[in-house]
Amino acid sequence: MSETQTYRHRINEWWSTARQNKLFWRGLLGAAVVIIIDQASKLWIVHGLGLPEIGRIEISGIFDLTYVENRGASFGMLSGMRWLLSVISVGVALALAVWLGRLNRPIAAIGVSFIIGGALGNLYDRLAYGYVVDFLDFSGLAFPWVFNVADTAINVGIAFLLLDAWNTRDHDETA
């Protein structure tokens, strides 16, 4: 069997497993919900509230809505590397989708779906605008970064994966 045939065989094998995996489909749905909520919140912030023109809306002593155009990755790291960050986002989302197709642990599947949704939500902004819209500001709690729903989903997804790792640390499961 040639290398191309081997590669196609592995893809077909994965797809056969993934399409029968209910966690795969639920995970993709969960990622889509994260993307929809993320993009809807950004549309509301930008066009509904007009936050780019206002700049900041004080809500309470600990929380404000503050408009930030984040041209980097999470919390502004790697600023100005739009295309590299886009390629990384696509790669991470694809790798996680492949893993999701094999997962049989619900907590891990939730985590993966949140990370995929968050990565793709921010990817859309990066490709459409050249930056990611951030607006959730907890500087009243001395939290130094402004972030968005997609960033939150990525961090919650990581927390779910850590919880899954903690719960399965004594088991010999590879998926």
Letter string b/e over residues 7-24, b meaning 16 or more CB atoms within 10 A of that residue's CB = eeeeeeeeeeebeebebb
DSSP β-bridge partners for residue 17: none
Taking each helix axis from N to C end, the angle separating 106-129 and 82-102, rounded to the nearest 10 degrees, works out to: 160
Euclidean distance between CA atoms 38 and 76, whole angstroms: 18
Segment (H or E) for 136: strand 132-137
Active site residues: 134, 151
Q: Which among 163, 39, 50 is positioned nearest to 109, based on CA atoms?
A: 163
Euclidean distance between CA atoms 145 and 23, whole angstroms: 33
Euclidean distance between CA atoms 26 and 169, whole angstroms: 24
Cα 147 to Cα 42, 53, 113, 144, 172, distances in angstroms: 11, 18, 19, 10, 37
